[in-house]
Amino acid sequence: MSGTVLFVCPHGAGKSRIAAAWFSGVAPPGWTATTAGLTPQDQVSVHAPRLLAGSPVERLLDHDLPRPLAAVPQPAVAVAIDCPPGAVPGALEWRLEHGDFDEAMARELRERAERLAGELGT
């Protein structure tokens, strides 16, 4: 199996970008990641590049403008990160323990994205 994983967060500018970069760094063959927001911001969050700075996936961060769900083709898997329940129909819903844009949140997103990549690769 292969396809696209769509990571969605409320604004498509921070949490989804971090998760997608980590997923892309360990993605099984044939899998890619993209991002979207429920109400997209007009720029990428300053937190995403800051939290990925110096990491092995820093170069994988998507710097394109955040996009709405409707702008993304139907993914094989969708992951809604800290979105209202049911906001992304059929999505895996990730509620983060660490909601602040800090190292703990970045580590949690990394662990979850890497676990998802492992599950999709089996």
The CATH number covering residue 56 comes to: 3.40.50.2300
| H or E stretch covering 107 | helix 103-120
Domain count, the chain: 1
Residue 17 lies in a domain: yes
For the stretch 35-89, pLDDT in tens is 999 999 999 999 999 999 999 999 999 999 999 999 999 999 999 999 999 999 9
Residue 8 lies in a domain: no
Q: What does the block give as tokens for 35?
A: 């991002």
Residue 87 lies in a domain: yes
Is the per-residue pLDDT at 1 higher than 80? no
Domain range for 77 = 13-113
- Global pTM value: 0.96
Give the model's confidence band at 99: pLDDT under 50 very low, under 70 low, under 90 confident, else very high: confident
Mean pLDDT of 105-109: 97
49 exposure class (CB count in 10 Å sphere: 0-12, 13-18, 19+): middle
Give residue 115's pLDDT. 98
Give residue 89's pLDDT. 94
Residue 4 lies in a domain: no
The total of other beta-carbon atoms located within 10 Å of residue 92's CB is 14
Residue 118 lies in a domain: no
Residue 2 lies in a domain: no
Give residue 5's pLDDT. 98
Amino acid letter, residue 112: R
* Helix (H), strand (E), coil (C) string for 19-74: HHHHHHHHCCCCEEEEEEECCCCCCCCCHHHHHHCCCCCHHHCCCCCCCEHHHCCC
